[in-house]
């Protein structure tokens, strides 16, 4: 009887996803250009029909074309040099080594009934987000708004698929926000897109099974920087009593993973790593804009009223991160604490820029980053913590020798 009840519960959860999808379709905001995307909610009249295999393949081809086209535009902008060619080759070999895991995650991304792709949240290019919905959402679930990384150049919402899957397996909805990358947009466009995506999530959380009182903001690498900029900008606007589209008080905590928060101090570091000064300054809209888009500097200059609005800030970083040194998070945490904000720093000994976000989750087993994030989200939910203790251990997706070799070759 117990097994039968469990099976029927799983079946009910499976059937509930289309209903959640339909709620999003019917109740989401009307956005100009929403029908431009083949899988944009509302583009097929707001019905419950799931996409066909042909539509899924068509969508995958369209997304691949978009990323490829932007990559070629970028290469034309950058020119071809030895360092870029060597970095590109390293990236290709890195991806090949981890391909078994990428294929399995990709299959989940394109064919799982728990993933709702390319929900339109705004009227700008790439104003789309992906939703990862837990199987069991009989009660409202916590929601994580996630801004992916990609050096402000190659960011893409699907990069959050593995994290989305892991958190959804633990009863947390994840919304991966896409945004314009350089050269399609510059930093102000990226921050504006992220803020628009957060606003959409705050407004519609209840329609896709989320708890409007449990919304979290997270970013990785460049995404951590963009999300922090959006959060501080919104807090400043709100503290002045100006009109807002979402409130910082709706965000329970911010998680910054491997982020850089004082851009002014990182220009030379990025130049040495291959993100050349001229390109980076173009992304950041010139040298004069660096303080404005450095959350650490902004926090130092912020009023007590602005700081008081900020949620708990949790900064996570690997100590062997060479893409963005862990001192970036260390210093930002110190500045936030000095300003009176609630800030916590979590360092991962011996971990690189991609270890904590990619290689470690591909290993399977209990992932430290995922567990740390969940411990904050479920801190006040004893029932969820009991389920966490009994949660199935994720399978290994890539062989250990491949992960170790990929780690050595990684251009990040």
Catalytic residues: 221, 321, 353
Q: Are 152 and 283 in contact (CB under 8 A)?
A: yes
**Rounded Cα–Cα distance for residues 134 and 371 (Å):** 17
- DSSP, collapsed to helix, strand or coil, labels residue 184 as coil
SS3 362: helix
- Tally of CB atoms within 10 A around 297: 18
The first and second tokens of residue 301, run together, are 């200059």
Question: 312 pairs with which residues across the strands?
Answer: 253
What SS3 state is found at 393? coil
For residue 160, give every residue at least 6 positions away whose Cβ sits within 8 Å of its Cβ, in sequence order, or none: 130, 146, 148, 174, 176, 220
> Tokens at residue 196, please?
């628009």
Neighbour-count burial of 144, counting CB atoms closer than 10 A to its CB (0-12 exposed, 13-18 middle, 19+ buried): buried
Q: What are phi and psi of 41, to 5 degrees?
A: -55, 135
Helices marked H in 2-154: 2-27, 53-78, 82-97, 99-111
């Amino acid at each position: 009887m117990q097994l039968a009840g469990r099976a029927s519960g799983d079946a009910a959860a499976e059937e509930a996803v289309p209903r959640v999808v339909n709620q999003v379709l019917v109740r989401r905001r009307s956005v100009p250009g929403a029908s431009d995307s083949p899988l944009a909610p509302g583009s097929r009249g707001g019905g419950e029909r799931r996409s066909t295999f042909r539509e899924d393949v068509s969508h995958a081809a369209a997304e691949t074309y978009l990323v490829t086209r932007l990559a070629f535009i970028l290469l034309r902008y950058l020119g071809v040099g030895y360092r870029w060619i060597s970095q590109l080759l390293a990236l290709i070999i890195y991806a090949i080594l981890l391909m078994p895991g990428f294929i399995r995650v990709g299959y989940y991304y394109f064919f799982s009934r728990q993933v709702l792709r390319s929900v339109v949240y705004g009227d700008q290019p790439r104003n789309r987000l992906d939703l990862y919905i837990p199987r069991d959402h009989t009660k409202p679930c916590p929601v994580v708004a996630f801004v992916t990384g990609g050096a402000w150049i190659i960011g893409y919402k699907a990069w959050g698929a593995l994290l989305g899957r892991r958190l959804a397996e633990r009863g947390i909805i994840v919304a991966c926000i896409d945004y314009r990358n350089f050269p399609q947009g510059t930093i102000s466009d990226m921050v504006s897109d992220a803020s628009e995506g957060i606003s959409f999530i705050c407004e519609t959380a209840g329609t896709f099974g989320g708890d409007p009182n449990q919304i979290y903001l997270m970013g990785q690498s460049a995404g951590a920087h963009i999300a922090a900029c959006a959060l501080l900008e919104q807090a400043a606007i709100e503290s002045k009593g100006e009109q807002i589209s979402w409130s910082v008080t709706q965000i329970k905590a911010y998680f910054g993973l491997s982020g850089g928060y004082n851009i002014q101090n990182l220009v030379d570091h990025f130049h040495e790593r291959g993100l050349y000064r001229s390109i980076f300054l173009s992304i950041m809209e010139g040298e004069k804009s660096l303080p404005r888009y450095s959350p650490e500097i902004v926090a130092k200059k912020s009023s007590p009223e602005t700081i008081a609005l900020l949620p708990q800030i949790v900064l996570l970083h690997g100590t062997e991160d060479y893409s963005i040194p862990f001192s970036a998070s260390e210093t930002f945490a110190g500045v936030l604490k000095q300003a009176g904000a609630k800030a916590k720093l979590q360092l991962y000994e011996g971990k690189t820029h991609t270890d904590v976000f990619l290689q470690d989750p591909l290993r399977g087993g209990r992932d430290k980053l995922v567990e740390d994030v969940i411990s904050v989200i479920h801190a006040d939910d004893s029932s969820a913590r009991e389920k966490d203790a009994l949660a199935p251990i994720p399978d290994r997706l890539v062989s250990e020798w491949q992960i170790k070799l990929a780690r050595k070759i990684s251009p990040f």
